[in-house]
Chains A and B, each alone.
Chain A
Amino acid sequence: MSNTELSNEETKLSHATLPRGAQWLVGIAAIALGGLALVLGVSIVGAVVIGVLAFLIGYPVWALLVENKRSATDKLVTGLVWTAFGVAVIPLIWLVYMVFARGAATINPEFLTYSMRSVTGDEQGGLYHALMGTLIVTGIAALISIPIGIMTAIYLIEYGKGNRLAKAITFLVDVMTGIPSIVAGLFAFALFTLLVGPGTRFGFGGGVALSLLMIPTVVRSTEEMLKLVPDDLREAAYALGVPKWRTITRMVLPTAIGGIVTGVVLAISRVIGETAPLLVASGFNPNMNTSAFDDSPMMTVPVFIYTQLSEATQKGVEYAWGGALVLFILVMVLNLIARIVGTIFAPKTGR
């Protein structure tokens, strides 16, 4: 292309642009506008909305005047995406902040090691019994769900391959995913009322209720991971004279183990905070109870939070926040473990 052609208006490749740092200028102006609104008596939420709207309108309009339509659209959509991001993340950060700010003061050695046995008035109590209960109940749920879930997934992927039974199982798993959690609790409660006696509330019942919620998650995530193992590898193993069951146990599962463990841990952290089913199936107990099979209720952290909050005393509210923080940290640790395990077991491609 010659220079004369480039100077032609229609083939020009450059156009006027906004000054550098234009977005900061608009941003400062928007903040100033929001601040002005605040001074004039608008509420803080209103002021923030005014500021964001000012930016979302002002920046694209300026771009439209100076640059062109495409660049204005770009700036508008970029602004909208960031706004959506903020709307999604701000409540999350706020929640984390609130749990830490309100709960941290309650956490002390006594709170973590005392139960609520014979605690009255302003005496120091704790959630040790609830913490142990949560670990036991969730442990039982995991012990039931992990083998059943993984073996179901193995059947669906390795043996079922879309036959009628596999389709039926997939459908039922999907239905189970949608069970309201309190229904799972009612089921476990009714089951043990029939098996043991009326009004049976105990740790194992809570575990069974949670496992109903956990199994579909484990099946789904394991299925996805097994699907990711290429058929090439299965065929390679068969071609070496390896029977199918050994191919599954020694090649397919080790290849997918990172993802499976991650899925399992995430499933555990999903059910560890369940309240409704435990309220029904596992019950309340201010005392320490470490026996899941005794016919006596077992306290769990979510139920502890619920009971303390319904006390509606100063101390009760504090304990509820403390319990929330403990539960939060528990879930966070589990997620962290899932991440670490995922990276440790991931197939290595390094040179």
Chain B
Amino acid sequence: MSIQVKDASIFYGDFKAVEDVSMSIKPKSVTAFIGPSGCGKSTFLRTLNRMHEVIPGAYVEGKIQIAGQDIYGPNVDPVAVRRKVGMVFQRPNPFPTMSIYDNVLAGNKLNSKRIKKPEADAIVEKALRGANLWNEVKDRLGKPGMGLSGGQQQRLCIARAIAVQPEVLLMDEPCSALDPISTAAIEDLIHELKSDYTIVIVTHNMQQAARVSDDTGFFNLKAAGQPGHLVEFNPTKQMFTNPDNPDTEAYISGRFG
């Protein structure tokens, strides 16, 4: 599903966190957001599945459409949006009371959906294979998810997110708490997931953006206390070789931020 954003501004109460973002995200592609800390890229990512509404007082102006539907329309159920737009967080957060198996099925279990055992087994295996974790955990599916290593936990969270079959997968700095080997595993996974999902990833690591993404958006702040804005949105290749905006070049070449 494609995502169209037009003049989106994001507020926390009176504070305007992000201003006038417009972009068009292609279906079945990887889009990366880069930019200095506090520029609102995570905030913007969270508006794509209405997760920012969890914070009291947060709201959005402008239009965000997924597959042609305005997700902030008057009759839209945020729960339905989140079922279509999954999310992986910065820190791995498997449910501590659940086994690996139950964690993968959490989307169904928490919604009290009854599924037959063979069907559930199939979902778990497919999701874990999809997250490149199956071979490592297939003999201990009943063990607690918290017992896995950090990188495995993060892949478990990805498996959990894809088990509910979303169309879009949002990733908020998914590798920032991981070592290089686990990071490489997740990046490989992103390449594979691209064929089925539209992926949007926030990252602090510009090499990572260059490695995994098709398009890149660069967010920046004019000054501290000012709202963040989208400086440039272009194909990653162009962004890293011949950016339109001198600020982008300065950031990418490491001259600031």
Q: Which residues of A contact B (CB under 8 A)?
A: 161, 230, 232-243, 246-247, 250-251, 254-255, 347-351
Given the interface contacts A239-B86, A239-B87, does A233 sit within 8 Å of B93 by beta carbon? yes
Is B157 part of the binding interface, using a Cβ–Cβ cutoff of 8 Å?
A: yes
Is B83 in contact with A241, judged by CB distance below 8 angstroms?
yes
Contact of A240 among B146, B147, B161 (CB under 8 A): B161
Contact of B86 among A235, A240, A349 (CB under 8 A): A240
CA of A251 to CA of B93, assembled, Å: 13
Give the secondary structure class of A's interface. helix
Given the interface contacts A241-B111, A246-B112, does A232 sit within 8 Å of B89 by beta carbon? yes
Chain B neighbourhood of A246, CB < 8 A = 110-112
Is B93 in contact with A161, judged by CB distance below 8 angstroms?
no
Is B79 part of the binding interface, using a Cβ–Cβ cutoff of 8 Å?
A: yes
Is A255 in contact with B146, judged by CB distance below 8 angstroms?
no
Is B95 part of the binding interface, using a Cβ–Cβ cutoff of 8 Å?
A: yes
Chain A neighbourhood of B155, CB < 8 A = none
7 further interface pairs, Cβ-Cβ under 8 Å (given A239-B87, A348-B144, A349-B146)? A235-B51, A239-B86, A240-B164, A243-B111, A247-B110, A251-B110, A254-B97
Is B147 in contact with A239, judged by CB distance below 8 angstroms?
no
Counting from the closest, the 3 A-B pairs by CB-CB distance are A241-B83, A347-B96, A239-B87
Q: Which residue of B lies closest to A253 (CB)?
A: B97
Given the interface contacts A240-B107, A349-B146, A350-B144, does A235 sit within 8 Å of B82 by beta carbon? no
Q: How many whole Å from A185's CB to the nearest CB in chain B?
A: 40
Contact of B109 among A233, A238, A250 (CB under 8 A): A250
CA of A351 to CA of B164, assembled, Å: 26
Is B93 in contact with A236, judged by CB distance below 8 angstroms?
yes
Q: Which residue of A lies closest to B94 (CB)?
A: A236
For B74-98 the 0/1 string (1 means CB < 8 A from A) is: 0000011011101101010101110
Interface centre among A238, A255, A349 (most CB of B within 10 A): A238
Is B106 part of the binding interface, using a Cβ–Cβ cutoff of 8 Å?
A: yes
Chain A neighbourhood of B110, CB < 8 A = 237, 240, 242, 246-247, 250-251
Chain B neighbourhood of A351, CB < 8 A = 143, 147
Chain A neighbourhood of B91, CB < 8 A = 232
Chain B neighbourhood of A233, CB < 8 A = 93, 95-96
Tell me the chain B residues, 115-167 only, with Cβ under 8 Å from chain A: 143-144, 146-147, 157, 160-161, 164
Q: How many whole Å from A260's CB to the nearest CB in chain B?
A: 13
Interface centre among A233, A347, A348 (most CB of B within 10 A): A348
CA of A292 to CA of B142, assembled, Å: 47
Is B49 part of the binding interface, using a Cβ–Cβ cutoff of 8 Å?
A: yes
Given the interface contacts A242-B110, A250-B110, does A350 sit within 8 Å of B86 by beta carbon? no
Chain A neighbourhood of B95, CB < 8 A = 233, 236-237, 251, 255
Is B146 in contact with A235, judged by CB distance below 8 angstroms?
no
Chain A neighbourhood of B107, CB < 8 A = 240-242
Interface centre among A240, A250, A254, A350 (most CB of B within 10 A): A240
Q: How many whole Å from A135's CB to the nearest CB in chain B?
A: 32
Is B54 part of the binding interface, using a Cβ–Cβ cutoff of 8 Å?
A: yes
Q: How many whole Å from B198's CB to the nearest CB in chain A?
A: 15
Given the interface contacts A235-B54, A240-B161, A242-B110, does A349 sit within 8 Å of B89 by beta carbon? no
Q: How many whole Å from B44's CB to the nearest CB in chain A?
A: 16
CA of A236 to CA of B161, assembled, Å: 9
Chain B neighbourhood of A235, CB < 8 A = 51, 54, 87, 89, 93
Contact of A236 among B49, B111, B146, B157 (CB under 8 A): B157
Is A161 in contact with B56, judged by CB distance below 8 angstroms?
yes
Q: Which residue of A lies closest to B78 (CB)?
A: A238
CA of A164 to CA of B51, assembled, Å: 24
Chain B neighbourhood of A161, CB < 8 A = 56
Q: Which residue of A lies closest to B92 (CB)?
A: A232
Contact of B79 among A234, A236, A243, A251 (CB under 8 A): A243
Is B93 in contact with A232, judged by CB distance below 8 angstroms?
yes
CA of A347 to CA of B79, assembled, Å: 27
Chain A neighbourhood of B82, CB < 8 A = 238-241
Tell me the chain B residues, 44-88 only, with Cβ under 8 Å from chain A: 49, 51, 54, 56, 79-80, 82-84, 86-87
Chain A neighbourhood of B109, CB < 8 A = 250
